[in-house]
Amino acid sequence: MVLCIGPEGSGKSLLLKKLQSPNYVDNTTTSVPTVGTNILSLRVADKLYTIREVGGTLAPMWPNYFVNVGKVMYVVDASNLCQISAAGVLLYTVLVNPLLRKAKVKDEYKYGN
């Protein structure tokens, strides 16, 4: 299971939509804040991943979703300078959780301009 988390308004839903269908998202695409969770499947290089997106408003409850997580996608809106330092603190609290001891976190994907 892949867990997709990040602060409120960081673009988790749009990123996942873009990964599912690159032509679906353009400069006019909008989304509503995720209330609760979304589960979707994503095929990458002939591998099928199950991704659970958890809304940023549920940050205090994120540890409830850490069981059996193999990878973490942590999304931050780098254009929102006010959010970056708070997002770093929030990420640190996620990474020190013992349930994610074996989960992989990568910073390879860059989305946007």
112 in a labelled binding site: no
3-state secondary structure of 48: strand
34 in a labelled binding site: yes
56 in a labelled binding site: yes
3-state secondary structure of 27: coil
79 in a labelled binding site: no
17 in a labelled binding site: no
Instruction: Name residues whose C-beta falls within 8 Å of residue 70's C-beta, 6 or more positions apart in sequence.
Output: 1, 2, 102, 103, 104
Instruction: Name residues whose C-beta falls within 8 Å of residue 82's C-beta, 6 or more positions apart in sequence.
Output: none
Query: How far apart, in whole angstroms, are the C-alpha atoms of residue 58 and residue 61?
Result: 5
60 in a labelled binding site: no
33 in a labelled binding site: no
9 in a labelled binding site: yes
12 in a labelled binding site: yes
Binding-site positions for Mg(2+): 13, 34
Binding-site positions for GTP: 6-13, 56
User: Which residues are documented as binding site?
Assistant: 6-13, 34, 56
